[in-house]
């Protein structure tokens, strides 16, 4: 605890900040104890750089590189909770961003594949995963709307950018009994978080809550 934005805080201040962080999560509906434990373990301060680093423990989205955002912690918690990850699961995350969500998933699943269309974001997140010894995460630069045909099928898929509809290739790459959580809607309007469950005969859709995410964009990014 000698590096990063928390360097100057006493251990009491750190404990107090962590308590407030967890309290905010609980009061916004994150109640799953495995999810809370994972979020207690992964330090969000490491995933936010520059001027916003000291706001990492507040329940708000923050800007990251490439004009993208790290999601609000309570939304990360609610999405992770809705995904109902089991310890033996292989999970695909579309939209690595800062890598924070993937790091949470890595505590809950056997294996996590995370893809982003910006090489810079996957590179920086990959470096952080190595530093934190999160060896069960594989980071890939790709257009995630096509999924990862070589690594499919997946037990769980989490999309952290908004699509107009749940992308067909992602639905195809979900195992029977598998769950996908995806924000759906027009990029500049309010979107709905959707939970899709693959059944033996098709797909069940459940609308969870309104959310606001950056759009899922086709092709690779410029950075
Ligand atoms: N989960 C991230 C936040 C995601 S922000 C975190 O924990 O910090 C959304 C991300 O989705 C951005 O980084 C953006 O580059 C990425 N994205 C948008 N469209 C994409 C696509 N088609 N394929 C892969 N990544 C995409």
In a domain, 94, yes or no: yes
Domain count, the chain: 1
27 is catalytic: no
Residue 147 CB–ligand 1 contact under 6 Å: no
In a domain, 133, yes or no: yes
Residues spanned by the domain of 69? 8-211
In a domain, 32, yes or no: yes
pLDDT tens track for 163-196: 999 999 999 999 999 999 999 997 667 899 999 9
As a whole number of angstroms, the distance between CA 213 and CA 154 comes to 23
- Over residues 143-156, the mean pLDDT reads 97
Tokens standing for 216?
């899922």
In a domain, 90, yes or no: yes
What pTM does this model have?
Answer: 0.94
Which CATH number does the domain housing residue 179 bear? 3.40.50.150
- pLDDT, position 9: 79
As a whole number of angstroms, the distance between CA 209 and CA 75 comes to 10
In a domain, 219, yes or no: no
pLDDT tens track for 111-134: 999 999 999 999 999 999 999 999
Tokens standing for 125?
């997140």
Residue partners of 12: CB distance under 8 A and separation at least 6: none
Atom of ligand 1 nearest to the CA of 216: 19
pLDDT tens track for 3-20: 445 457 788 988 898 899
Dihedral through CA 64, CA 75, CA 191, CA 109, nearest 10? 90
The pLDDT of residue 103 is above 90: yes
Residue 191 CB–ligand 1 contact under 6 Å: no
- Which one of 11, 71, 145, 201 is the catalytic residue? 71
- pLDDT, position 7: 58
Atom of ligand 1 nearest to the CA of 143: 23
In a domain, 3, yes or no: no
**Residue 58 backbone dihedrals phi, psi, to 5 degrees:** -95, 150
């Amino acid at each position: 605890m000698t590096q990063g934005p928390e360097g100057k805080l006493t251990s009491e201040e750190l404990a107090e900040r962590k308590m407030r962080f967890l309290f905010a999560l609980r009061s916004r509906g994150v109640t799953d104890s495995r999810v809370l434990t994972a979020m207690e373990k992964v330090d969000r301060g490491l995933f936010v750089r520059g001027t916003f680093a000291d706001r990492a423990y507040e329940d708000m989205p923050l800007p990251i590189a490439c004009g993208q955002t790290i999601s609000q912690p309570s939304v990360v918690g609610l999405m992770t909770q809705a995904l109902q990850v089991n310890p033996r699961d292989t999970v695909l995350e579309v939209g690595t961003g800062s890598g924070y969500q993937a790091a949470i998933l890595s505590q809950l699943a056997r294996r996590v594949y995370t893809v982003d269309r910006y090489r810079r974001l996957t590179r920086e997140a990959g470096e952080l995963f190595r530093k934190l010894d999160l060896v069960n995460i594989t980071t890939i630069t790709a257009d995630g709307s096509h999924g990862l045909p070589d690594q499919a099928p997946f037990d769980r898929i989490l999309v952290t950018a908004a699509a107009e509809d749940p992308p067909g290739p992602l639905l195809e790459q979900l195992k029977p009994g598998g769950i996908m959580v995806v924000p759906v809607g027009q990029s500049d309007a309010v979107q709905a978080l959707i939970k899709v469950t693959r059944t033996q005969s098709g797909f069940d859709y459940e609308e969870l809550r309104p959310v606001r995410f950056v759009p899922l964009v086709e092709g690779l990014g410029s950075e």
